[in-house]
Amino acid sequence: MRTKLIAGNWKMNLTSGEAGPLAKTIADAVGSDGPDVLLCPSFTLIPAVRDAVDGTKVQVGAQNIFWEPKGAYTGEVSAEMLIDAGCSHVIIGHSERRQYFGETDASVQRKTMTALKVDLIPIICVGETLDEREEGRTEAIIDKQISGALTGIEADDMLRVVIAYEPVWAIGTGRTATPDTAQEVHKQIRTWLKNKYGKDVAEQVRILYGGSMKAANAADLLGQPDIDGGLVGGASLKADEFKAIIDAAR
């Protein structure tokens, strides 16, 4: 049985004066039962969020990582730095990073290997654009992204990996994939995992859905057999909305 994971990707939003109180409100609302809950703020906000959720079941993650351990890499943050800051997870290969910062399947693979080495849980993002979907290439694109990201990842490590299916056309657009559409791709990903790692591993990997998830559609999406949680953008910045999504995962 896969425990659901509801992760908030705060993207480039909030200051520490706002992030701490929001994290605390969310942590207070979560209680001790229910799904796993994760907040992924910008690097500078990690300490404020970590302190606000200390002693609660809410975990803290980063939105990016670099693969080198240290050195002359201006602007980058290493795996060890994320652990040191209190992170348990890291989002890798978000479509916004692929689109605006040139991330590729190869860089996603390197970052994933780096995270696994220090016991950071990677949340690997995949998803097709609207053009790719309309051209009937969704399955091929997802296969290519998944196989690229997971090259060299062994079955033992795969058990610690989380995958997020985020159709690019649904991110920040208010246009959500229907539960059936999302389930179809989640099932495809799980079948891919089964073929590579076997049934036992495939049944344990959590596959999150992301793209305009909100209180109003969360229950239907999370009710699908292969949707194991959400990677939530905009709605995770509103305590009531995020809490309702967490409640829908109970």
Residue 241 annotated in active site: no
Least distance between ligand 13P and beta carbon 64 (Å):
12
Asked whether position 233 contacts ligand 13P by CB under 6 A, the answer is yes
Binding window for ligand 13P (CB under 6 A); candidates: 18-26, 80-88, 100-108, 233-241: 233-241
- Find all residues with CB under 8 Å of 45, minimum gap 6, and list them: 10, 14, 15, 16, 19
Please select the residue that binds ligand 13P; options are 38, 115, 153, 171, rule is CB under 6 A.
171
Neighbouring-strand partners of residue 60: 39
Asked whether position 231 contacts ligand 13P by CB under 6 A, the answer is yes
Helices in the chain by DSSP H: which ranges? 16-30, 46-53, 79-85, 95-101, 105-117, 130-134, 138-149, 155-158, 179-197, 199-204, 215-222, 239-248
40, 69 contact by CB (below 8 A): no
Please select the residue that binds ligand 13P; options are 213, 227, 245, 249, rule is CB under 6 A.
213
Least distance between ligand 13P and beta carbon 103 (Å):
14
- Which of 94, 103, 128, 186 is the catalytic position? 94
Please select the residue that binds ligand 13P; options are 50, 211, 222, 242, rule is CB under 6 A.
211
What φ, ψ does residue 94 adopt, rounded to 5°?
A: -55, 150
The CA–CA distances, whole Å, from 14 to 49, 55, 86, 197, 211 equal: 11, 23, 19, 40, 20
Binding window for ligand 13P (CB under 6 A); candidates: 12-20, 152-160, 179-187, 211-219: 211-219
Asked whether position 210 contacts ligand 13P by CB under 6 A, the answer is yes
Residue 94 annotated in active site: yes
- Find all residues with CB under 8 Å of 247, minimum gap 6, and list them: 34
Q: Contact residues for ligand 13P (CB under 6 A)? A: 9, 94, 166, 171-172, 210-213, 231-235
Q: Could you list the active site residues?
A: 94, 166
